[in-house]
Amino acid sequence: MNDKRHPGLTDRFGRVHRDLRISLTDRCSLRCTYCMPADGVPWLARETMLSTDELVRIARVAVEMGIDEIRLTGGEPLLRPDVVDVVDRLAHLSGPLGRPEISLTTNGLRLPSLADALHDAGLTRVNVSLDTLRRDRFHELTRRDKLTETLAGIEAAHASGMKPIKINAVAMRGVNDDEIVDLTRFCVERGYQMRFIEQMPLDAGHTWDRQQMVTGEEILAQLTEHWTLTERGDRGAAPAQVWDIDGGPASVGVIASVTAPFCGTCDRVRLTADGQLRACLFARKESDLRALVRSDATDEDLAAAIAACLQLKQPGHDIDDPGFLQPDRPMSAIGG
C-alpha cells in the first residue's frame, strides 16, 4: 500500500481505493436496451443533483485522501452543460499523489463539438461506447438513428490528441455477437483499443438473462479464429484482461465482470449525480454525501463519510449467487 494515502481508502479486505467514478447526470441522448427503458425513465429530481461546486468539493476531499484517477460518466456525461469547466476544475485538484488523471466514458454524440475543449481542459483519455457498426442495428439497439454522429465523435476525440481511445461494446447474443471480429478490426485499423463487456444485470427493465449473456470465453474463441492473441501479464486493478493482437501493439480487452469477477482487486468507488457514494456498482447501500455538503459538515466529516462507506464494501458482487438482488438504480443512474 502507498502510505501517502488516507487509511480510510483501504477497506476491510485490504483493497486500496484510488479511482473515483463520478456520474455527471442520469440523463442520456440514447436509450440502449441493456441500460434504459424506451420511455418512462424515472429521472433524478433536478434539485437533488449536485451543483458543480458541491461535486468538485467532494472530489477535492477524495483527491486529498489519495484518489488519483477520476472517470466521468453517467447517463451521458457530455449532456452536462458545464462539462468542460468540470473537467478543468477536476484536473487542477491536487493530493498526496499529485494531480488526478481525468478520463470519460461517453456515447460520443457531443464529441465533435467538445473534444478539443475537453482535451485542452485536461481530459487525457476517453472510452466511447459503440456496440455495432451497422446503422439499422445501432438504431434498434440505442433506439436512436445516430451511428454517424457516434463515429464522428470517435474521430473528433482521436483528432484532438486524446490517447488512448478505447471503444466499449456490450456483447449480446443474437444482437451483435456476429460483429466481434468486425468491431475489433475497426479498432485495429485506426489505432483504437477494443473492449468487450459481458452484459450485467443493471438494465432499468430488469430483463437480464444469464443464458443470453455472451461470455468472455465465447468472445475470445471468436477472436482467436482470426488473430494470434497473447495475454498481457499483471492487470493490477483494471477490469479488462488484455491480449496483444498478432504480437502488438494492437490489443483487445475483455471485461468479464460476470464469469470472471475482478472484485478482489477493485479500487473503484462511485459518486452518483445526486450525491450518493456507492462502494460498488452492485451496492445496496449508499452514503448520502449530498446531505453532508448541504449542511455545515467540514472536509474532515466528508473524508470520514467516504471512509465509512468503503468499510461497507462487500468482498464481491455475487451475481451468480441465487440470492443476488439487482440494485434499485439502473446503470444510467449509478454511473457505469
- List contacts with ligand SF4 (CB under 6 A): 28, 30-32, 35-36, 74-76, 107, 129, 332
Distance in Å, CB of 15 to ligand SAM, minimum: 22
- Which does residue 199 bind out of ligand SF4, ligand SAM, none, counting CB within 5 to 8 angstroms by kind? ligand SAM
Among 25, 103, 168, 193, binds ligand SAM (CB under 6 A): 168
Q: In Å, what is the CA distance from 30 to each residue of 109, 121, 125, 163?
A: 9, 26, 22, 25
| Smallest gap from residue 94 Cβ to ligand SAM (A) | 26
**Contact with ligand SAM (CB under 6 A) among 18, 24, 27, 34:** 34
Does 332 help bind ligand SAM (rule: CB under 6 A)? yes
- Burial of residue 18, with CB atoms counted within 10 A of its CB: 0-12 exposed, 13-18 middle, 19 or more buried: buried
Binding site partner of 203, from ligand SAM, ligand SF4, none, Cβ cut-off 5-8 A by kind: ligand SAM
The nearer residue to ligand SAM, 36 or 305, going by C-beta atoms, is 36
Cell of 321: 449467487
Residue in 23, 37, 118, 128 with CA at minimum distance from that of residue 77: 23
- Note whether 165 binds ligand SAM by CB under 6 A: no
User: To 10 degrees, the CA torsion angle through 300, 304, 309, 312?
Assistant: 170
SS3 229: strand
Binding piece for ligand SAM, criterion CB under 6 A, among 40-48, 197-205, 274-282, 294-302: 197-205
- How far is 277 from 56, CA to CA, in rounded Å? 14
Terminal Cα distance for the chain, rounded: 26
Q: Identify the H or E element spanning 142.
A: helix 135-142
Nearer to ligand SAM, 62 or 141 (CB): 141
Does position 68 interact with ligand SAM (CB under 6 A)? The reply is no
Point out which residues bind ligand SAM (CB under 6 A): 28, 34-35, 73-74, 76, 105-107, 129, 168, 170, 197, 199-200, 202-203, 331-332, 336
